[in-house]
Amino acid sequence: MSGIVVVGAGQAGFQAAASLREAGFAGPLTLIGEEAQPPYQRPPLSKAYLAGKTDARGLLLRQESFFAEHAIAHRRARATGIDRAGRRVELADGDSLAYDHLILATGTRNRALPVPGATLSGVYGLRSLDEADALKTALERAERIVVVGAGFIGLEFAAVCAARGLSVTVVEAAPRVMARAVSPETSAAFRAFHEAAGVTILFGAGVSAIEGADGRVASVALADGRSLPADLVLVGIGVVPNQELAQAAELPVRDGIEVDPFLATADPAISAIGDCARFPTRFAAGLPGGDRVRIESVQNAVDQGRCLAARLTGRPTAYDAVPWFWSDQGPRKLQIAGLGSPDDASVTRRSGAGFSVFRFRDGRLSAVESVDRPADHMAARRIIAAGRSLTPEQAADPAFDLKALAT
């Protein structure tokens, strides 16, 4: 028996391996990961870790001893090819591993900024612990910081910098923050939070070049001719899925590795989970891209790891978890349940601290964005999972009992 091989020792790959053992899988199990560290959580990299509130040990998904105790071989190597006919994964060190089932959990990588100077010293991305460490060191001596992209990671980073009293300018091409992910109401609130904390945000601003002196970044040139002095630049303009292994093995890919409702690729011996997988879900109904999505979140990575482990141990179920996500930006906590679209209608519910924006698509509740309202978020997850809805008037009425609808 060759056993199960997982490529990618991140959130999804780790979860699949751990859940396989939990479910009683007793065969050989290998987790291949190209990073030096044991599997760790990425969300704190742009939050508590960068702010010095947790150390690298605090990021680990399990202590190193867990892997030996559960007979999970953690192989530090880069997978470079899949021989589907021979059922083997090829590694960069020349070795290859046989599999009965192969799980691709290769995640994503930072999208590169396509302008001159993007690789100058002092220009960073933030995806891995190594990148977070480099950024942490650079922050010790940085004075003028420019963040390219007002998405979740850029804004979380900007909030950490502002809390340290550093000068931060965020450059965003769109007219509002987190424009692809949240409603105009939530964007406006977060813009105000960040500006009140001292962050400058420039909208409709395209970067034309990063300019340097002696190989180091000195300024960021904008398309409208402005130049922003900078000694540290963080580029946070999204990610691209690591789908090349699947593509080279002639498995269908389209902004992610295509999988069926059971997370299987076109080859029944290969599955894909987490940030790299594109899957069908009822929660995406009515979205401009159709009912297939690729989701970048801890929830999705963990739930898909569990769902796949259940199938591989004889309990197949279609993946049907309600999507949810969080982002901590300074003292503000944003939680999102469901999948909203930029065109969805919005209704805001306010009472006491925080607020929630209820989004509607084709007359049905599609997503709820809660800011410092964890009870709304928990109720929304249950309401959306159950396929229930409410009217915009009910959503806006603070007296309407959300909890009752959720149970």
Q: Which residues bind ligand FAD (CB under 6 A)?
A: 7-13, 32-35, 42-43, 45-46, 78-79, 105-107, 126-127, 153, 242, 245, 274-276, 296-299, 301, 325-327
Residues with Cβ within 8 Å of residue 404, at least 6 apart in sequence: none
* Closer residue to ligand FAD in complex, CB, 157/358: 157
Helix, coil or strand: residue 289? coil
* Closer residue to ligand FAD in complex, CB, 46/169: 46
| Nearest-approach distance from CB 76 to ligand FAD, in angstroms | 9
283: which DSSP letter?
A: G
| Nearest-approach distance from CB 236 to ligand FAD, in angstroms | 9
In the block, residue with structure tokens 């292994």: 245
Residue 213, burial from CB neighbour count under 10 angstroms (0-12, 13-18, 19+): exposed
* Closer residue to ligand FAD in complex, CB, 117/236: 236
Do residues 150 and 170 touch, judged by C-beta distance below 8 A?
A: yes
| Nearest-approach distance from CB 127 to ligand FAD, in angstroms | 5
| Nearest-approach distance from CB 53 to ligand FAD, in angstroms | 14
* Closer residue to ligand FAD in complex, CB, 20/153: 153
Residue 220, burial from CB neighbour count under 10 angstroms (0-12, 13-18, 19+): buried
| Nearest-approach distance from CB 80 to ligand FAD, in angstroms | 7
| Nearest-approach distance from CB 285 to ligand FAD, in angstroms | 22
* Closer residue to ligand FAD in complex, CB, 70/109: 109
Element (H, E) at 97: strand 96-98
* Closer residue to ligand FAD in complex, CB, 297/313: 297
The span from the CA of 22 to the CA of 102, in Å, is 18
Element (H, E) at 244: helix 244-248
Tokens representing residue 66 in the block: 């867990």
